[in-house]
Chain A
């Protein structure tokens, strides 16, 4: 009995020191964010929001996607309900759970569907870059309006 005690102690001590090899272990979500292009949300003939992929070669940032949305002309089958504006710079302030967008528009430049277009395009880019699907979006217009304070969700993305 006494003879195996030192061996047990040595085994214990050895097991305690050094970095041991391991099996494959999970390390969390994989990084994401690659995409063949930007997804813009436009309105079809039945006044429904529709996603459309613009092949820009990369996903880009939220301001880039919104700039593309503000400058997109109305097409034959899909159109935009945002009034054309020469300034397309949108600033994005991410806070906890809410994306604050400052758009160069007044409340009169957009229809409710137009606001949804902005919300969905921003949230889509956010999700594609790895963001949370349940993030709210606050669209702030250049002139003071109660609409600026609403935290919105995109019906196409969040509802699912």
Chain B
């Protein structure tokens, strides 16, 4: 719903226009049916009413001519008033008979005779008719001269004119009945059209709906979803195309997953294989360390370098194995009731960083979690802040609704925008030039995986006052899955 100022004009039309395929098919069917039925009804009612009017008109005209013709041979000519009265009586109804200045009229409506009709009677010397509407009623006016026929057949006007007015209301009522029955027939066709439209819409919409369900399942991750094509129409073609698309997506997804799995197993295998020679190497280096003091200066330097790098290598392999465990889903959570503030202080104290880090942690926030993994996360975040940021580094523990949040901030330059999406990537180096750092390059990735293992999340960003800001949020009530 829009809440802006009421904007008229286009909106009602948009709302009226039917949206669904079913509604559109229905409307189209009904429109076609109504138009067709209306056209048929109009045409049949029109021709029937024309025929009715014409035949009525003809019957009236012929009747009048016949009645007049039957009496004329007995009529005095030139006519007197009595002769005109006899003619008028013979014509019957609403009639006026004139001869020069003589006139005989009876009935109502004789003043309706239009001038055009009088003119036509005089000029054509034939019987003429005209339909008029007066007082919202239809009338038929028949006008005719009485002609004199010579024995040889030549006709001349006698000067006698007869005008007769007939009410056509009865005919109009009959036509109204015709129109009503036509309209009723058209209306009866409507439910049938709706039924047909629904059937047609159903046959079109069923495959569409199946296709939609399939697409939804595909989008939901079920790559094996297919819909069987039915028939040989365009919808069947579409279904086949969608199936092909799903097939190729599934194939490439499977290949990608296999490659990923292979790569992880390779990393796991490599780190595992490295462990045994590394432990030997470590033992050798320990021996080397104890005897380093008796060496010459440059030899001692080399030995110390070897010791440092070996320790680095050991940590890297440990981290790699941890990542491999997390990837394989074999990492175990040892959940216990932990006092968060205490755990954070213990972590910093164990690494001798309590004096360089400011901890803001209210007492009494306890959470069920794996103490070792929380330790790993906090150590990684704080180590990262000390290494890349500027002091003061601050750890803030707080409660936010259903979550417990542990925030680690520093006052350094913060994370550049292009770095933020990749902070948790494995072996990602923010500064390509600074390739050698004491970390393994897996710390933040492991921290994120550990947070997720708890059902929580770890996000990176920048604090309002500048400096990087990592937020670990852990749910207070974790649903055990």
Contact = CB atoms under 8 A, between A and B. Distances in A.
Interface of A: 5, 9, 12-13, 15-36, 39, 51, 57-61, 120, 123-124, 127-130, 133, 156-157, 160
A27 B39 contact: no
A127 B153 CA distance: 6
Report which residue of B49, B72, B129 has the largest number of chain A beta carbons within 10 angstroms of its beta carbon. B72
A30 B46 contact: no
B179 A13 contact: yes
A39 to B, nearest CB: 5
Given A16-B49, A26-B124, A32-B146, 11 more contacts: A5-B31, A15-B46, A17-B175, A21-B132, A29-B127, A31-B64, A31-B66, A31-B162, A34-B158, A123-B151, A129-B72
B355 interface: no
B126 A130 contact: no
Given A17-B49, A58-B73, A59-B73, A32 B149 contact: yes
A15 B66 CA distance: 33
Nearest to A60: B73
Interface stretch (B75-83, B259-267, B286-294, B305-313): B75-83
Contacts of A127: 149, 151-153
B42 A32 contact: no
A120 B34 CA distance: 67
Given A16-B42, A17-B45, A127-B153, A29 B77 contact: no
A90 B342 CA distance: 150
B115 to A, nearest CB: 11
B178 to A, nearest CB: 8
B144 A31 contact: yes
A157 B179 CA distance: 53
A27 B149 contact: no
26 contacts: A9-B35, A13-B179, A16-B42, A17-B175, A18-B138, A19-B171, A21-B132, A23-B116, A24-B128, A26-B124, A27-B126, A29-B65, A29-B126, A31-B72, A31-B146, A32-B148, A32-B155, A34-B72, A34-B79, A34-B146, A57-B76, A59-B73, A128-B150, A129-B73, A133-B152, A160-B153
Given A16-B42, A19-B53, A130 B69 contact: yes
Given A18-B138, A19-B171, A24-B116, A31 B151 contact: no
B152 to A, nearest CB: 6
B151 A28 contact: no
A24 B117 contact: yes
A16 B150 CA distance: 46
A17 B179 contact: yes
B74 interface: yes
A26 B128 contact: yes
B147 A31 contact: yes
Contact of A57 (B77, B124, B172): B77
